[in-house]
Amino acid sequence: MLHVVKKLNALLEPRDRPKVLLLAALMVLTAFMQTAGVASIMPFLSVLSDPGAIQSNEWLNTAYTVLEFDSDRSFLYFLGIISFAVFVSGTALQALTFWAINRFSHMQQYELSRRLMADYLRRPFSFFLTRNSGDLSKTILNETSQVVSGAMMPAMRLLSHFLLAVAIISLLIIVHPFLAVSVAIVLGTVYGIIYFAARAWLQRVGRERVVANRERFTAAAEAFAGAKEIRLLGREQAYLERYRLPSKRFARHQANAALLNQLPLFAIEAVAFGGVLLLVLVLMAGEGGLSQALPLIGLYGLAGRQLIPAFQKIFAAVANIRFNMAAVEEVLLDLGDREGSQSFTKVIPHGERLVPSETIRVEDVCFTYPGSGEPSLQGLSLDIPARTTVGIVGSSGAGKSTLVDLLLGLLRPDSGCIRIDDTKVDHSNVRRWQAAVGYVPQHIFLADQSVAANIALGLTESEIDRDAVIKAAKLANLNEFVTQELPESYDTIIGERGVRLSGGQRQRIGIARALYRDPDVLFFDEATSALDNATERAVMEAIHNLSGHKTIVLVAHRLTTVRPCDWIFVMQGGSLVEEGDWETLSRSSGQFKRLSAGI
Ligand SMILES: Nc1ncnc2c1ncn2[C@@H]1O[C@H](COP(=O)(O)OP(=O)(O)OP(=O)(O)O)[C@@H](O)[C@H]1O
């Protein structure tokens, strides 16, 4: 139990922990008031069954005289009203506790998913290379709510009902120790047997639920991401099966766990019914008959009304927590920062950018992807002179994209370093360096937003600088298309639910996005491969017009793309094998020659 408390505590933000203590105090008060409500029926029933109790019972006698009652009947009404008032207060407090637990828990779900989302966004880029995006969404959206509704909320309800059960059993012990202990033992045993029989099963299906959940999220995400290929290959049925099987397992586990929560209630209702009959017979057989037995029967009637649901809820909470511990562990595993996590940064002003004035130097860099045996770059060194345009070419798998990701500061070299002039790029200045670069990848991601918002990606409408958007679009050879062909010009919604764009138009949005913040260094990773020859020529012309002012790095498959570059690097097997200008390389007989010959 202690390890469960520790894990649940670890899910909370330090500032939320005092709130839990406050909730616990409210629970204690509620348990006390509810027990008082149960106890308050006794004096009422005593006087009802035997008015002589007013004289024989010291407490009743004192109350009768001090409050100056003059008839038994009015005193009985008074006792009834008091009992009712205490009972209603207990119930009102119970409703308040229920509300407080619910509110706290749901806010925790929001808080937990927000923290997880922030933690993921801060992770080093290499984290995203090893994790499935469907899995991350599942943990943020689904497992956090499972953690809260299946473990955190039950844990608090468990405490609340446990306190109530302890208080009521204590009351029963004070009134009639033997009877109370017998009732506690019977109830405890029924629940205990069922719980211990189901313990291991609950833990196992809890873990299987997490796995099935991951599989169904991944299958759903992949089915839509690859809709085109899946349709073409006719693999819809296979994908439906990939989704159906884990979904069915998931639903079965959820249903079984929910059923187990309720199962003891049926057994307990039978036991309780038999118990009440037995209680009445035993008490009636004792001295004093019905008038002695009535207050005790009334007490047990009310106590049972509180106690049986409390026991049931304690059981359900314990079973729920056990079933959902796997989800708690899953969330805990991902919560918090890791080595290389970066804090969010505000916009870095132009003046603080790390801009090369002489060279961008790659110095003896080695890099191996996590989980991969083979190094992708080994001992790579090269110099990119500032304000020149350089090309990087090489056969597929040569390491070009890896080099660009390292240059962008997204990946960190295992050994060696990247220097901007004399400054080594590291954790402390990588954001300043990234503020100076623009990057156009091969596959452009489009958000379901306007053209302008896509170019100024991540900014709100009011933050977008319209002039900068248009300037960037013109440079990317996009302005004409947007203003003449799109119905609402820069306000047209594009992306998944908006106007569909061709590969070339998409690519030009990507180029305009990179140019929007007027970067000092531009990286194009196969960025023009989706453009037709005429558009590529126009875009390349625009890019080359920037040369002299900006440092431009072009990664390209098509050698003609890098022809106008000042300098060309040729890579092979993770190393630099040749470098030079187009003329020199064309005359060589090395890898460049083979590439141009298409060998
Ligand atoms: N996420 C990854 N995990 C493990 N290995 C990777 C990963 N990405 C790339 N690699 C490996 O690193 C090597 C270099 O890949 P990279 O993508 O840098 O080559 P490239 O020259 O850009 O190829 P292409 O022209 O086909 O895009 C390849 O052997 C590739 O298998």
Give 52-86 pLDDT, tens digit per residue: 878 887 888 888 888 888 888 888 888 899 989 99
The arithmetic mean of pLDDT across residues 341-356, rounded, is: 80
- The domain 445-518 having CATH identifier 1.10.3720.10: the answer here is no
Average model confidence (pLDDT) across the chain: 86
Tell me the per-residue pLDDT of 127-159, one tens digit each, with 9 for 90 and over.
888 888 888 988 998 889 989 988 998 999 899
Name the residue with the closest Cα to ligand 1, atom 31.
397
Distance 369 CA to ligand 1 centre (A): 9
**pLDDT value at residue 352:** 85
518-to-235, 317, 455, 506, 546 alpha-carbon distances in Å: 45, 57, 12, 20, 11
Residue 431 main-chain phi, psi, to 5 deg = -65, -35
Distance 381 CA to ligand 1 centre (A): 18
Tell me the per-residue pLDDT of 3-46, one tens digit each, with 9 for 90 and over.
888 888 888 988 888 999 999 999 889 989 988 888 888 888 88
Name the residue with the closest Cα to ligand 1, atom 28.
397
Q: Is the predicted pLDDT of residue 599 greater than 60, yes or no? A: no
The arithmetic mean of pLDDT across residues 239-253, rounded, is: 92
Pocket test for ligand 1, best of 367, 372, 591 (most atoms within 8 A of CB): 372
Tell me the per-residue pLDDT of 404-439, one tens digit each, with 9 for 90 and over.
999 999 999 999 999 999 899 998 889 899 999 999
In DSSP terms, 438 is beta-bridged to 522
The arithmetic mean of pLDDT across residues 439-462, rounded, is: 88
Domain 354-436+520-599 in the same topology as domain 2-334: no
Q: Is 568 exposed, middle or buried (0-12, 13-18, 19+ CB in 10 A)?
A: buried
Q: Is the predicted pLDDT of residue 569 greater than 60, yes or no? A: yes
Q: Is the predicted pLDDT of residue 494 greater than 90, yes or no? A: no
Distance 393 CA to ligand 1 centre (A): 14
**pLDDT value at residue 498:** 67
Give the DSSP letter of residue 419.
E
Residues with C-beta less than 6 Å from any ligand 1 atom: 129, 369, 372, 376, 394, 396-402
- Nearest alpha carbon to residue 557 among 528, 589, 577, 584: 528
**pLDDT value at residue 384:** 95
Q: Is the predicted pLDDT of residue 598 greater than 70, yes or no? A: no
Residues 6 or more apart whose CB falls under 8 angstroms from that of 117 comprise 140
Domain 2-334 fold: ABC transporter transmembrane region fold (1.20.1560)
Q: Is the predicted pLDDT of residue 403 greater than 80, yes or no? A: yes
**pLDDT value at residue 560:** 81
- Nearest alpha carbon to residue 104 among 181, 174, 213, 19: 19
Tell me the per-residue pLDDT of 167-221, one tens digit each, with 9 for 90 and over.
988 888 888 888 778 877 887 888 788 888 888 888 888 889 889 988 898 888 8
The arithmetic mean of pLDDT across residues 573-580, rounded, is: 91
**pLDDT value at residue 346:** 66
The proportion of the chain whose per-residue pLDDT surpasses 90, expressed as a percent, equals 30
Q: Are 373 and 522 in contact (CB under 8 A)?
A: no
Confidence of residue 594 (pLDDT cuts 50, 70, 90): confident
**pLDDT value at residue 112:** 92
CA atoms of 393 and 569, how far apart (whole Å): 6
Question: 3-class DSSP state for residue 229?
Answer: helix
Global ipTM: 0.95
Q: Is the predicted pLDDT of residue 458 greater than 80, yes or no? A: yes
The ranges assigned to domains in the chain are 2-334, 354-436+520-599, 445-518
Measured over the CA atoms of residue 392, residue 396, residue 398 and residue 402, the dihedral's sign is positive
Name the residue with the closest Cα to ligand 1, atom 17.
401
Q: Is the predicted pLDDT of residue 377 greater than 90, yes or no? A: yes
Return the CATH architecture of domain 354-436+520-599: 3-Layer(aba) Sandwich (3.40)
Name the residue with the closest Cα to ligand 1, atom 14.
399
Measured over the CA atoms of residue 427, residue 430, residue 432 and residue 433, the dihedral's sign is positive
Distance 434 CA to ligand 1 centre (A): 22
The arithmetic mean of pLDDT across residues 543-563, rounded, is: 81
Name the residue with the closest Cα to ligand 1, atom 29.
397
Distance 398 CA to ligand 1 centre (A): 7
Distance 413 CA to ligand 1 centre (A): 15
In DSSP terms, 493 is beta-bridged to 450
DSSP string over 32-88: HHHHHHHHTHHHHHHHHH-TTHHHHSHHHHHHHHHTT---HHHHHHHHHHHHHHHHH
Atom index in ligand 1 nearest the CA of residue 372 equals: 4
CA atoms of 418 and 407, how far apart (whole Å): 7
Q: Are 265 and 312 in contact (CB under 8 A)?
A: yes
CA atoms of 395 and 240, how far apart (whole Å): 38
